[in-house]
Amino acid sequence: MIENDLKQLMSRDDAPLNGLSDDIWAREAAHIASQRSARRLAAWQLAVIAVAVVSSASFGVSQAVSSHPKQSALFAAAELAPSSLILGGKP
């Protein structure tokens, strides 16, 4: 099996290797540039998410502080619950 592959490699014409080193360095430079841009994009995405989280948290806190608490209808009905009437509570 491997013998057949070796025979095929030996039988084909020699490829010119004149610009091989330049091609390798060009591909390496492109790979490094791609990694650098991916890191930069990830950093910007993280910054945008951090700003969104901080701004939404501060807006939520400001809304909670400025709003007046009111009793919900769900909790108003708790006064008429059978368990409170059994213990002698009057509506």
**Rounded to 5 degrees, what are φ and ψ at 57?**
-65, -45
CB 78 within 8 A of CB 71: no
| The overall pTM is greater than 0.75 | no
The residue with greater pLDDT, 20 or 13, is 20
Checking phi first, is residue 88 left (phi over 0); if not, alpha (psi -120 to 50) or beta?
left
Model pLDDT for residues 58-69, shown as the tens digit of each residue: 999 998 888 776
Measured CA to CA in angstroms, residue 36 lies from 31, 49, 50, 83, 88 at distances of 9, 20, 21, 66, 73
- Dist. CA 20–CA 24, nearest whole Å: 6
